[in-house]
Amino acid sequence: MPHPRSPSKAAQTPALVSASLAALPEPQSFEAGLLLGILIGEGHFGGDGKQPQITLRMHTRHERLFRYLLTLCPEAKLYGPYDHGGRQYFQWMVRGQALRDRLVPLLDSLPLAEIDEHVYARYQEMKQRYAL
């Protein structure tokens, strides 16, 4: 099992790196809707006490989706695959400048509050706690 702080080798493949030069999607695009839907259904909005982070943890059968998310946000990290307690999963994480300068402005431009009040409250709590 890889070290929990080591990005996945899958996240470091040359094809993925060259594909990852794309900017985050426009707010009205399919990609923005896909990202918003995944974050509503599976996202964790929090941090480690020092810096904020948005995390997705899903089964390894979603590896292609994780790879696609890396093309949308190339500064994100993909950790895993993990096999813990009978569960096989990857973990995708966005922190730092990518979160502050790219993902937060995109999420702020989307109708998160109108779609899911609970997720919106968690997102706003993370923003308040970490002064985003």
Q: What is the mean pLDDT of the chain?
A: 84
Query: How much is the pLDDT for 23?
Result: 59
SS3 at position 99: helix
Three-class DSSP category at 82: strand
Taking the C-alpha atoms of residue 119 and residue 115, their distance in angstroms, rounded to an integer, is 9
Percent of the chain with pLDDT over 90: 69
Measured CA to CA, the distance from residue 49 to residue 47 in angstroms comes to 6
Report the alpha-carbon angle 7-43-122, nearest 5: 130
**Mean of pLDDT values over 100-112:** 92
Percentage with pLDDT > 70 across the chain? 80
Beta carbons within 8 Å of 113's beta carbon, 6+ residues apart: 120
Range with the poorest average pLDDT among 29-33, 71-75, 82-86, 126-130 = 29-33
Query: Residue 16: which pLDDT band, with cuts at 50, 70 and 90?
Result: very low
pTM of the model: 0.77
Q: Quote the pLDDT of residue 11.
A: 43
